[in-house]
Amino acid sequence: MNILSQNTAFGGMQGVFSHQSEATGTEMTFAVFVPPQAIAEKRPVLWYLSGLTCTHANVMEKGEYRRMAAELGLIVVCPDTSPRGNDVADELTNWKMGKGAGMYLNATETPWAEHYQMYSYITEELPSLIAEQFRADMSRQGIFGHSMGGHGAMTIALKNPERFKSCSAFAPIVSPLTADWTQDAFEKYLGADRAKWREYDACALVEDGARFPEFLVDQGKADSFLETGLAPWKFEEAVKGTDIDLTLRMHERYDHSYYFISTFMEDHLKWHAARLG
């Protein structure tokens, strides 16, 4: 693990690191905020997954999470959204596909399968590195994210309920099978058989029997992607009749930006901390 930068913030440490990933076959960059309490004891880990076009840096620079994370004693891990590098497949004119748009899945189709193994990277490889290099209590993990990252957080939680104790999302893509900005990418990553897409779709996972105790979802009503890309009411419908507890909060005048995310970031951190102990 290489240290790219370390800065003191609110008594803790905001670091940016890189390492050679076996899952993606590339160098991967990620950010970690370590609260001051970690000097004395292991602390809970909260994973933040970013959205399309983002890197590890977007939430680190705009998310305004450090003060509350330091107060609550939360380690916050912010991975990149895709593999990077000159040899990594990409579509330069398509921001919904390729670099910055890994969709938190394991691609099966050529040429994407060679490097786009983000599900394995997020759920297996990077957690092992965090456990090894930081004073992290891996028995207390939560996960949240924004947009594509909200999709990633919800599907990963649904598929790994024994690992995560909490999950929330800002404006998540709850149904990539039907969202206008994910169908093209899913077909290229996973092939034309839409049945294979279901393991990376929160609504489909619930319909197929996956369970997670509860979700917190915040969504802006002025979000330009609301109707055709996000549609949180589809997840609300999917969980009806199950034992999944969904808190869906719709907010007037808020859009899809980090102004929206930073407004409700403290709510999410407190929500996770209450469940992580």
**Cβ neighbours of residue 110 under 8 Å, at least 6 residues apart?**
none
From the list 175, 134, 117, the residue with the least C-alpha distance to 151 is 175
Gap between the Cα atoms of 212 and 215, Å rounded? 8
Phi, psi (deg, nearest 5) at residue 74: -100, 130
For residue 76, the SS3 value is strand
User: What is the sign, positive or negative, of the torsion defined by CA atoms of 162, 42, 35, 17?
Assistant: negative
Which residues form the catalytic set? 147, 223, 256
How many whole angstroms from its chain centre is CA 161? 15
User: What is the sign, positive or negative, of the torsion defined by CA atoms of 173, 178, 179, 183?
Assistant: positive
